[in-house]
């Protein structure tokens, strides 16, 4: 179905309240939100509009001017006192916010810029070229789609995504990647994977564990790279770029451009994660909250839609060992008589299976809580 037919069919579908028909019509274009924008829509289709209750609830959350912690990783391996302070700062940020930004992380600015530009090129190339990668197959290694939870969510989000999944294998061949972003993506994957291992070492120390504890558990394995493209939205107040959610996985490292829109929920207040040149955003995932027995926090966050754009971001998820199945659970050293295990043991696949069966704004962590 071409985009002009979709534009004509959406109002008719809305009148008949046939949401599934509208979703399928959008999905079958394989052109995503970018295709809608290119077709000239001045009003967003009904499938993207949040419910009256959700829009009304927006007024229940205050906005805050406070900022998430900024962690400087300079001299982390050469200055003992600085390392000790950094680990303490990481501990507090991971407990209180579940979010922080890192500076002097070791990834050259040219690599960051190249990754953002490569993802922009992919999403802005001809629709026919992108369609070759379009898929809703969960385990496909490299795929392009719009809204992972399109058919489960109450409202679609205003974004398209290129996903690179390295869960079952540890690397991707260059010819498996789109030509538009091939070399820049390979370089970024290599660099951000090394940073992930460093952060897991620091976070292990922050938990009072041996430096290698989290890495030895395979927490830095199973990487998935989710490359989002958020087009400018004509009615941003009615939709979201990404709904409120927590991340499956142990850790997420986010590269974002300078447009902004990422927010984290703390004390019922939405905090803007302001873009900081040269920085990367890091957040604790559900798995790290669970194995740390709630020492660290996986915070709810979202991306608001914006009249300016496109906004581009790349989220690197570290989800752990997928194959062969590895059992994770609260770390023995963190369990005491006063603080018994709070979560059931789990495998990555068992968690992700539940997570993928529902809208992203529905918590999966609750399914694995023990009654204590």
**Angle, to 10 degrees, between the axis of helix 182-206 and the axis of helix 80-96?**
90
CATH topology of domain 62-368: Jelly Rolls (2.60.120)
CB 16 within 8 A of CB 125: no
The residues, any chain, with a CB within 8 Å of residue 351's CB and separated by 6 or more, are 248, 286, 287, 364, 368
Considering only CA atoms, which of 216, 187, 215, 210 is closest in space to residue 199?
A: 215
Q: CA–CA separation, 73 vs 105, rounded Å?
A: 6
CA-only gyration radius of the chain, Å: 20
DSSP for 108-165?
A: -HHHHHHHHHHHHHHHHS-HHHHHTTB---TT-SEEEES-TTTTTSSS--S-EEEEEE
Average pLDDT, the chain: 92
Q: In the structure encoding, which two tokens stand for residue 232, read together? A: 């400018």
Report how far apart, in Å, the C-alpha atoms of 193 and of each of 123, 227, 239 are. Answer: 24, 15, 33
CB 261 within 8 A of CB 59: no
pLDDT digits (tens, 9 = 90+) for 136-176: 998 899 999 999 999 999 999 999 999 999 977 788 899 99
Record the pTM. 0.93
pLDDT digits (tens, 9 = 90+) for 228-287: 999 999 999 999 999 999 999 999 999 999 999 999 999 989 999 999 999 999 999 999
pLDDT digits (tens, 9 = 90+) for 207-221: 999 999 999 999 999
pLDDT of residue 6: 55
Q: CA–CA separation, 368 vs 372, rounded Å?
A: 12
Strand 301-304, strand 262-266: pairing = antiparallel
Query: Domain-by-domain residue ranges, the chain?
Result: 62-368
């Amino acid at each position: 179905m071409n985009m002009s037919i979709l534009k004509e069919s959406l109002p008719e579908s809305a009148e008949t309240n046939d949401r599934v028909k509208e979703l399928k019509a959008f999905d079958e274009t394989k052109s995503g939100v970018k295709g809608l924008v290119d077709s000239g829509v001045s009003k967003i289709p009904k499938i993207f509009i949040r419910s009256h209750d959700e829009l009304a609830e927006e007024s229940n959350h205050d906005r805050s001017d406070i900022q998430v912690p900024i962690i400087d990783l300079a001299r982390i391996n050469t200055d003992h006192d600085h390392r000790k302070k950094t680990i303490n700062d990481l501990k507090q940020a991971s407990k209180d916010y579940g979010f922080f930004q890192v500076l002097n992380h070791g990834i050259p600015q040219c690599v960051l810029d190249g990754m953002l530009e490569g993802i922009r090129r992919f999403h802005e190339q001809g629709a026919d070229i992108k369609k070759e990668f379009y898929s809703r197959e969960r385990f496909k290694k490299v795929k392009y789609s719009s809204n992972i939870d399109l058919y489960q969510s109450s409202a679609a989000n205003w974004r398209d995504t290129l996903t690179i999944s390295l869960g079952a294998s540890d690397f991707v061949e260059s010819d498996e990647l789109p030509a538009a972003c091939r070399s820049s993506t390979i370089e970024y994957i290599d660099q951000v994977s090394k940073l992930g291992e460093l952060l897991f070492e620091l976070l292990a120390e922050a938990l009072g564990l041996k430096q290698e504890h989290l890495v030895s558990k395979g927490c830095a394995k199973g990487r998935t790279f989710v490359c989002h493209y958020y087009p400018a939205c004509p009615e941003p107040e009615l939709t979201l770029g990404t709904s409120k959610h927590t991340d499956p996985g142990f850790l997420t490292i986010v590269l974002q451009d300078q447009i902004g829109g990422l927010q984290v929920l703390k004390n019922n207040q939405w905090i803007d994660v302001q873009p900081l040149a040269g920085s990367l955003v890091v957040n604790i995932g559900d798995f790290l909250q669970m194995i740390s027995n709630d020492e660290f926090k996986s915070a709810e966050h979202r991306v608001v839609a914006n009249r300016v754009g496109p906004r581009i971001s790349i989220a690197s998820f570290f989800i752990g060992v997928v194959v062969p199945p590895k059992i994770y659970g609260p770390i023995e050293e963190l369990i005491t008589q006063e603080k018994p295990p709070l979560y059931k043991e789990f495998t990555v696949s068992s968690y992700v299976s539940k997570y993928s069966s529902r809208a992203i704004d529905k918590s999966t962590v609750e399914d694995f809580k023990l009654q204590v």
